[in-house]
Chain A
Amino acid sequence: MNTSITRNIIRFVFLVLVQIAIFNHINFLGYINPYPYILFIVLFPIGDNRGLLLFLSFLLGLSVDMFSNSGGMHAASCVTIAFLRPWILQSIFGIAYEYNAVKISKAAFGERLLYISILVFTHHLLLFFLESFNFSDIIYILKKTLFSGAFTILLCLLFLTLFSVKRK
């Protein structure tokens, strides 16, 4: 239990630092930035502590907001995907989720990809909508969501592979 708490604290700090120091400044093709910091919400232990997840997601988003001067856009998007997470998990993993037997790192590749993609695209769509705050920019928002989302998913999968714990 204690190692789980420590691991999540380290993950929180590490992901926020990497996000603000590196990924906020990638500017690929002028406007594509990945946001792999939501990996914290993806990997948060599955269980009955939904209130804690909501609160931590809010803090996570707010820390990124503070560094990018974006008000509360990241916080709003993070809280929303944290709130939606149980239903997404349930619809993807079905019966295994109800018995608390889901491990993201051990899930099949297809299921993992689907789970991450849904979270990432929901987060990005909301984030870019709040950023432009204008329905007339919908094409721009969708374009940005698609490209940045693909970038984020790629990075999330990469992070998962790189930092996965192999037990012999």
Chain B
Amino acid sequence: MQQIVNFIIKYRNFLLFVFLLFISLVFTIQSHSYHRSRFVNSANFLSGGIYSGLDDITTYFDLETHNEQLVEENNRLRARLLNTRDSVSQKIDTATYHKRFQFTTAKVINNNYTFKDNFLTLRAGSKNGLKQDLGVITSKGIVGIVDNISKNYATVISILNSNSQINAKLKKSNHFGILVWKGGDPNIVDLIDVQSKAPVKMGDTIVTGGKSTIFPEGIGIGTINSFELDPSENFYTIKVKLFNDMTNVGHVYVIENLDREEIKMLEQQTADEH
């Protein structure tokens, strides 16, 4: 017993080092796997508060671009509103009308794009009705998926994150693939596993597929920058240039699919039966 105590006293610094290193490595490994409820994240009271305060100062530098983006979006929406063909004849029965998606606006208070796993922090949390696994978009295209939430803040797994996998398809032909990011250029993401029969052309538009319950179908992602067949000639790997400038994201919309619970439950039920 005496010897054990002596050993601990003699090597206390080394033991402390090993202990602290072990804790940090556990946190690191956790951060590399998708969706583990993480203890250290920027959605907590302290870091959220400080980012929020900093953002109040720096937001003025980007006001002009954000205004331009808003005007552009208003312009597009106005054009759609005024150009609808005879809206009177399309009767919408509000009694049976089923609302599928709910939107919440949020301000981005922190944004990374230089690491391999990038996150954004939003000033909106459970208080504003945010939940885990909701989609985040801007007026131009997708941004990411909500990860951790606190009362007032939320972190978002950016599409520029090696853990992010989003279902996407060609706008023209419905051939779908998986959107991933392998690091490097923050304007380019990869669309992998697209069937070789798909009619892929440079400049074609890529949009979200309707296969997940996170994003609605048809939200813009980007255009095809280049593409190549894999050696087995079964699948295309497509480089997609994003519509969004991920290095400058100001205000975002968080989308909640109101049917999500129902769809999940049904899928679970089907999986259980077989």
Contact = CB atoms under 8 A, between A and B. Distances in A.
A54 interface: yes
B152 interface: no
A20 B121 CA distance: 13
Interface residues on A, range: 35 or more
Given A51-B12, A76-B25, A130-B28, A70 B20 contact: no
A70 B115 contact: yes
B160 to A, nearest CB: 12
Contacts of B121: 69
A61 B17 contact: no
Contact of A131 (B40, B110, B115, B247): B115
B226 interface: no
Interface stretch (B43-51, B75-83, B88-96): B43-51
Contacts of A72: 23-28, 31, 40
Interface in A26-75: 27, 30-31, 33, 50-51, 54-55, 58, 61-62, 65-73, 75
A133 B54 CA distance: 31
A72 B23 CA distance: 8
B114 A27 contact: yes
Interface string A100-116: 00000000000000000
Nearest to A24: B112
Given A68-B42, A133-B32, A51 B24 contact: no
Contacts of A73: 24, 28, 31
B40 A65 contact: yes
Nearest to A76: B24
A67 B38 CA distance: 13
B20 A71 contact: no
Interface residues on B, range: 35 or more
Given A75-B23, A75-B27, A69 B16 contact: no
Contacts of A54: 13, 16-17, 20
B223 interface: no
Interface in B74-129: 110, 112-117, 119, 121
Contacts of B112: 24, 68-69
A80 interface: yes
A54 B12 CA distance: 11
Contacts of B41: 66, 69
A83 interface: yes
B40 A83 contact: no
A69 B27 contact: no
Given A71-B30, A72-B23, A79 B17 contact: yes
Contacts of B40: 62, 65-66, 71-72
B29 interface: yes
A91 interface: no
Nearest to A31: B114
B51 A67 contact: yes
A65 B27 contact: yes
B42 A66 contact: yes
Given A72-B28, A75-B23, A66 B17 contact: no
A131 B116 contact: yes
B251 to A, nearest CB: 19
Contacts of B186: 30
B159 to A, nearest CB: 15
B202 interface: no
B155 A69 contact: yes
Contacts of B20: 54-55, 58, 75, 79
B258 interface: no
The 6 A-B residue pairs whose C-beta atoms are closest, nearest first, are: A71-B31, A72-B27, A72-B24, A76-B24, A75-B24, A69-B119
Given A58-B23, A67-B110, A71-B30, 20 more contacts: A17-B50, A54-B13, A54-B20, A55-B20, A66-B44, A66-B46, A67-B42, A67-B47, A68-B42, A69-B41, A69-B121, A71-B24, A71-B28, A71-B40, A72-B23, A73-B28, A76-B25, A83-B17, A131-B116, A137-B183
